């Protein structure tokens, strides 16, 4: 229902990925090629860390379509960040308001999602009751994603992110199936604590939204010596994104179904996630 992008690597201006590429995330807001919807015009968000030392991130969110937001252009050019999230929204029901725009933040954590919890209104109350009462007042909007995030926080996101997100999804599946929804979970998720980036691709029915990660930059430089679009990136730059940002063969590699990718200074790793 949305498109998102997450970057980790040498500090860059977010505009390098948010605005400049052939199929940038802002271009996807107007015309996504691989999405369930072609238009993602129901608001956007940019979340960024100033460093990777564990400080809290900043968030800029707006209900305007990303393609015509002049402030997004200014801010994504003005900043430099080693780790940032960008999201364009196609609302599936909850109102168009800043508090429903991704990414969501809690302490040093960012969380964003492309997809939906099918039949959510029918079991929202069940999930809300499961959220740690101490965390409950922190829910500011009305999306399924923010509830999923708070479930993961409840289940120990800080201690073991993969376990906590997995448990949150299993809880969603149980709640949905209890009210007759066969495939409650759909989507791709990005999570970060400001040091590491986790990207999940999982759906109850095994047919998730698309997700890609960028190939290793040094390898790409050897494949495409002199390619202008590579010059902006350092050797450790890595992107996870709903759709390839350009048409360069080999530049983007699909993240498989039922997989979690882990990205930090040491490179890209992945492992099965909630596989049957």
Give catalytic residue positions.
Answer: 2
Collapse the DSSP code of 228 into the 3-class scheme (helix H, G, I; strand E, B; otherwise coil) and give the result. helix
Closest CB to its own copies among residues 98, 108: 98
Minimal distance, residue 133 CB to its own copies, in Å: 6
d(CA 274, CA 263): 19
Buried b (16+ CB within 10 A) or exposed e, 105-126: bbeebbbbbbbbbbbbeebeee
Kindly list the distances between the CA atom of residue 129 and the CA atoms of 36, 61, 136, 183, in Å, as whole numbers in the listed order. 31, 28, 9, 21
Torsion of CA 12, 18, 20, 25, to 10 degrees: 150
List interacting residues with its own copies (CB under 8 A). 30-31, 38-39, 41-42, 48, 50, 58-65, 67-68, 70-71, 74-75, 77-79, 91, 95-99, 121-122, 124-125, 128-129, 133, 136-137, 139-142
d(CA 182, CA 238): 35
Minimal distance, residue 58 CB to its own copies, in Å: 4
Closest CB to its own copies among residues 80, 221: 80
d(CA 275, CA 200): 12
d(CA 33, CA 38): 6
Closest CB to its own copies among residues 140, 254: 140
Closest CB to its own copies among residues 67, 212: 67
Minimal distance, residue 219 CB to its own copies, in Å: 33
Minimal distance, residue 90 CB to its own copies, in Å: 10
């Amino acid at each position: 229902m949305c498109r998102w992008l997450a970057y980790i690597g040498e500090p860059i201006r977010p505009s390098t990925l948010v605005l400049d590429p052939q199929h940038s995330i802002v271009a996807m807001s107007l015309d996504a090629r691989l999405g369930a919807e072609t238009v993602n015009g129901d608001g956007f968000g940019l979340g960024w860390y100033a460093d990777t030392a564990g400080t809290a991130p900043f968030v800029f969110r707006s209900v305007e379509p990303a393609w015509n937001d002049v402030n997004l252009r200014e801010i994504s050019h003005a900043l430099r960040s080693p780790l940032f999230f960008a999201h364009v929204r196609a609302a599936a029901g909850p109102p168009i308001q800043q508090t429903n725009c991704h990414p969501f933040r809690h302490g040093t954590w960012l969380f964003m999602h492309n997809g939906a919890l099918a039949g959510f209104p029918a079991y929202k109350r069940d999930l809300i009751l499961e959220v740690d009462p101490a965390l409950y007042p922190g829910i500011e909007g009305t999306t399924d994603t923010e509830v999923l995030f708070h479930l993961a926080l409840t289940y120990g996101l800080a201690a073991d992110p993969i376990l906590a997100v997995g448990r949150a999804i299993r809880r969603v599946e149980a709640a949905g199936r209890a009210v007759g929804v066969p495939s409650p979970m759909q989507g791709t998720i990005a999570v970060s604590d400001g040091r590491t980036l986790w990207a999940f691709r999982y759906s109850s029915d095994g047919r998730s939204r698309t997700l890609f990660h960028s190939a290793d930059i040094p390898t790409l430089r050897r494949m495409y010596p002199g390619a202008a679009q590579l010059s902006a990136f350092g050797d450790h730059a890595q992107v996870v994104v709903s759709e390839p940002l350009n048409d360069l063969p080999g530049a983007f590699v699909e993240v498989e179904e039922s997989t979690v990718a882990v990205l930090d200074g040491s490179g890209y790793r992945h492992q099965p996630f909630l596989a049957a």
